[in-house]
Amino acid sequence: MPAPDYDVVVFGATSFVGRILTRYVAEHFSGDAETLRWAIAGRSEAKLLEVKRSLGAAGESLPIIVADAANEVQLRALCAQTRVVVSTVGPYALYGEPLIKVCAESGTDYCDLTGETQWIKRMIDKYEASAQQSGARIVHCCGFDSVPSDMGVYFLQQQAMRQWGLPATQVKLRVKTLKGGASGGTIASLINVVQEAAADPTLRKELADPYALCPKGHGFTARQRSVRGAAFDADFDVWIAPFVMAAINERVVHRSNALSGNAYGNPFLYDEAVITGHGLSGRMKAMTMVAGLGAFMLGIVIKPARIVMQRFLLPKPGEGPTPAAQLAGRYDLRLFGRTAQGNTLRVKVTGDRDPGYGSTGKMLGQAAASLALDHMRDGIKTGRPGGFWTPATMFDERFIERLTRHAGLRFERI
């Protein structure tokens, strides 16, 4: 069987995030940097050529592949040409399954930036056996949700094991700073999840399960705390409010624990929240955030309100933060860990760009590169076998080094 032409194909290169990712890959993997054979793909040849031209000299020899997300024949031809596909085509629950099916059946490695819990579970249930048989490594959630959370906990646990030889059986993540905007694609994905849940009681129950993404028979019974209202956190000495990304991040971290043989402990506790401040002002801000988040979710469920929001308030598909806004964005996440013996430690994860776009594009690019370069030797896959993995179970210290050196993230003990 001939070797694939490419190490990585960026699928959905004409989308908002796809363009950011494409530019990042073009800029990073050129000159004296790592060598990566890559191409861009999407359904519109004209738009792909436009993306290629926008890259200037870096795009002159960049190959393009025309493939529609719903066309399995075209997707199989695409997968035959590459070792890894990195996809930005969302909402994934609407457009992502055919590519997962083809990758799982063909043995092609895959990563994406989805945060759609219900879709990830469906894909695991339907295609994990195929991926295990073919050798395809499927890694969802390689953007802001859930790399900083998942790799942050991984980093904290490494520190705990080095110091005490024991994992932290309780970890809290608190968002100290989060500066960035939302794109139309992200909003569309969120709306789709809320609408699906509103129409399906079984799905609502599934989404409420903190272990929803864990393998069957995981055996976890610890009752998890979910921050749903304003609360005071004594470990951080601050008021906190719900974090919208916690719904996916917490489940990914628990899946990482399960896939790593309960490395964090069977009674492992994990939750995420946003820091709103100290004293009365912190409490009031937390209550305001809770009310605002509730109103937003209610607006999505009620059709007339949703139509008004989509028409006048929310970004449309293809729209998102400007390049200047992406550069001005940043985030600072603080993690607190406690072992069963009461030992405590703190780490922080920071990013130098808008979290959902500027930073996500870089994280996603390095995830694809890690699959293609770090976990491949002489055309033979190394490390994990085929299956559905999380960032913290597919990747390792080399990925943290990539994120630190090339993606503007920092993992530090404080």
Please state the domain extents for the chain: 6-144+357-407, 147-354
What are 241's strand-pairing partners? 274
Cα three-residue angle 369-125-390, rounded to 5 degrees: 30
Q: Looking at the predicted structure, is the pLDDT value of residue 31 above 90?
A: no
pLDDT in tens, 339-374: 999 999 999 999 999 998 899 999 999 999 999 999
Contact of 178 with 249, CB cutoff 8 Å: no
Half-sphere exposure of residue 140, counting CA atoms within 13 Å on the CB side?
30
- Which of 97, 93, 103 lies closest to 132, judged by CA? 103
* pLDDT tens-digit map of 254-311: 999 999 999 999 899 999 999 999 999 999 999 999 999 888 888 887 888 888 877 8
pTM of the model: 0.95
Q: In the beta sheet, which residues pair with residue 137?
A: 387
| 95-104, 179-188, 245-254: segment of lowest average pLDDT | 179-188
Lowest mean pLDDT among 30-39, 137-146, 329-338, 349-358: 30-39
User: Under 8 Å CB-to-CB from 397, ≥6 apart: which residues?
Assistant: 158
Lowest mean pLDDT among 33-42, 146-155, 278-287, 312-321: 312-321
pLDDT in tens, 32-44: 568 899 999 999 9
CA dist list (Å): 139 to 36, 40, 315, 387 = 19, 19, 28, 9
Share of the chain above pLDDT 70, in %: 97
Distance CA 32, CA 408 (A): 19
pLDDT of residue 414 exceeding 80: yes
Average pLDDT over all residues of the chain: 93
Domain 6-144+357-407 has CATH 3.40.50.720: yes
